[in-house]
Amino acid sequence: MANYSFARSWQSQSISTRIMRLWLGITWIYGGWNKATDAGFLNPASPHYIGAQLQGYLATSPIHIILQKMIEHATQLGWLVMISEFAIGIAVLAGLALELAALGGFGMSVVLWLSATWAVKPYFLGSDTVYAVMWLALFFGVRQSYRGGRMAAIIPNLKDRREVMRLGAVAVAAIAASLAGSKFRAKNPTPEAGAAVATLAELPIGGTKNFQAADGSPAVVFRTAAGVFAYSRVCTHQGCIVNYDAGAHLLACPCHGAQFDPTKDGKVVAGPAPTPIAKIKVAIKGDKVVQI
Ligand code: FES
């Protein structure tokens, strides 16, 4: 990497390696940005807090003992994951420490597979296995691109000042992007507990209405003859947003098919979700439904 050239890092590689590099680099940066701009990812009160996600994987993951230990340090882990995703994505696009970045992406995908998508059946519906294979293919594709010439060391040469500076620039860019994301979080003021989520007029008996919960996450309220009740719409599997299927009377997740029964405390009735969907406390006050 001593004679680093951005253009050469692309030109020297096969088309298939370039395609994987482009896709994986952009996807990892997008993954980091998604977390950085998510107001709930580092907020322990949110249903999509990283600690809550880890908690949700415990029931099905073969590495649940490790995940259990990580929960205590969930916020620090969240920062680490976010910065690592940015750093790997930037390094892959820039062509810096490419093999190391590919191994990092491979490691992340394997951990995600063993935690988040282990319970997805059949396995090909979970994306982490595909990403693990793509990262491994990128690693070997890059190794092979050093045709007959020098085989770059996987671990960067930390005695080379310019190499250290370039890697330092990647780290600074990753941290800056993680911090910049917070500026784009929850632009709309989130309703406070006690704020109306619906009027009785817009929620007749038998009706449902989507609303934004006090922590900013999406939720849905139901009204029956017996009263009102509400659920988070954040799937307990991997955080996709569930929708109410009025025909089946179930909350259904579009990502991997989890279904929850709102008439049975949000119980899982199908799919890989490990725990019931979270309840949100609501009550009728006057002519309104409020979150309490
Ligand atoms: S996120 Fe996987 S089933 Fe909902």
List pLDDT tens digits, range 204-236.
999 999 998 887 788 999 999 999 999 999 888
Tell me what pLDDT residue 53 has.
85
Q: Which residues pair with 284 in a beta bridge?
A: 289
Q: Does domain 196-291 have CATH number 1.10.10.10?
A: no
Closest Cα to atom 2 of ligand 1? 256
Give the pLDDT confidence score for residue 47 in this predicted structure: 66
Residue 178 pLDDT exceeds 90: yes
pLDDT score of 169 more than 60? yes
Report residue 163 as tokens.
Answer: 């190499």
Binning pLDDT at 50, 70 and 90, where does residue 109 land? Answer: very high
Residue 65 C-alpha to ligand 1 middle, in angstroms? 22
Mutate to test the pocket of ligand 1, among 125, 235, 236, 245 (most ligand atoms within 8 A of CB): 235
Q: Which of 153, 150, 149 is nearest to 98 (CA)?
A: 153
To the nearest whole number, what is the mean pLDDT of the chain? 89
256 against 141, higher pLDDT: 141
pLDDT at 57: 86
The answer on pLDDT for 193 being more than 90 is: no
Segments making up each domain of the chain, as ranges: 6-184, 196-291
Percent of the chain with pLDDT over 90: 59
Ligand 1 atom nearest residue 239's Cα = 1
- Closest alpha carbon to 127 in 253, 256, 268, 236: 256
pLDDT at 269 over 80: yes
Cβ partners under 8 Å of residue 252, min gap 6: 242, 243, 244, 245, 258, 259
Give the pLDDT score at 40.
Answer: 82
Using the mean position of ligand 1's atoms as its centre, give its distance from the Cα of residue 239 in Å. Answer: 6
The pLDDT of residue 147 is 57
pLDDT score, position 274: 85
The structure tokens listed for 58 are 């415990």
pLDDT at residue 192, rounded to an integer: 59
pTM, 2 dp: 0.70
Q: Which of 49-58, 77-86, 265-274 has the weakest average pLDDT?
A: 49-58
Nearest CA to 245 out of 227, 259, 266, 263 is that of 259
Q: What is the pLDDT of residues 2-12, one digit of tens each?
A: 578 899 889 98
Q: Band of the pLDDT at 19, cuts 50, 70, 90?
A: very high
What pLDDT score was predicted for residue 205?
93
Residue 143 predicted with pLDDT over 80: yes
Q: Tell me what pLDDT residue 72 has.
A: 82
φ, ψ of residue 12 in degrees (nearest 5)? -80, 0
Task: Give the atom of ligand 1 at the shortest distance from the alpha carbon of 271.
Answer: 3
- Residue 203 dihedral angles phi and psi, to the nearest 5°: -130, 75
Instruction: Indicate which atom in ligand 1 lies nearest the CA of residue 258.
Output: 3
The pLDDT of residue 108 is 97
Atom of ligand 1 nearest to the CA of 253: 4
Residue 92's pLDDT is what?
A: 97
Cα 269 to ligand 1 centre (Å): 13
Q: What is the model's pLDDT at position 152?
A: 60
Among 255, 268, 277, which is best to mutate for testing ligand 1, by the most ligand atoms less than 8 A from CB? 255
d(CA 110, CA 213): 33
SS3 270: strand
Model confidence band, residue 124 (pLDDT cutoffs 50, 70, 90): confident
Locate all alpha helices (DSSP H) within 37-160, ordered by sequence: 50-57, 64-71, 74-94, 98-115, 127-144
Specify the pLDDT at position 153: 66
The residue nearest atom 1 of ligand 1, judged by CA position, is 238
**What does the buried/exposed string (b/e) look like for 214-232 if buried means 16 or more CB atoms within 10 Å of the residue's CB?**
bbbbbbbbbbeeeebbbbb
Task: Identify which of 208, 218, 198, 205 has the alpha carbon closest to the alpha carbon of residue 283.
Answer: 198
For the range 37-40, what are the long-range contacts, defined as Cβ-Cβ under 8 Å and sequence gap of 24 or more? 37/181, 37/182, 37/184, 37/185, 38/185, 39/185, 39/186, 39/190, 39/216, 40/215, 40/216, 40/217
Distance 242 CA to ligand 1 centre (A): 8
Ligand 1 contacts (CB < 6 A) are 235, 237-238, 240, 253, 255-258, 271-273
Backbone angles phi, psi at 178, to 5 degrees: -65, -40
The distance in angstroms from the start CA to the end CA of the chain is 58
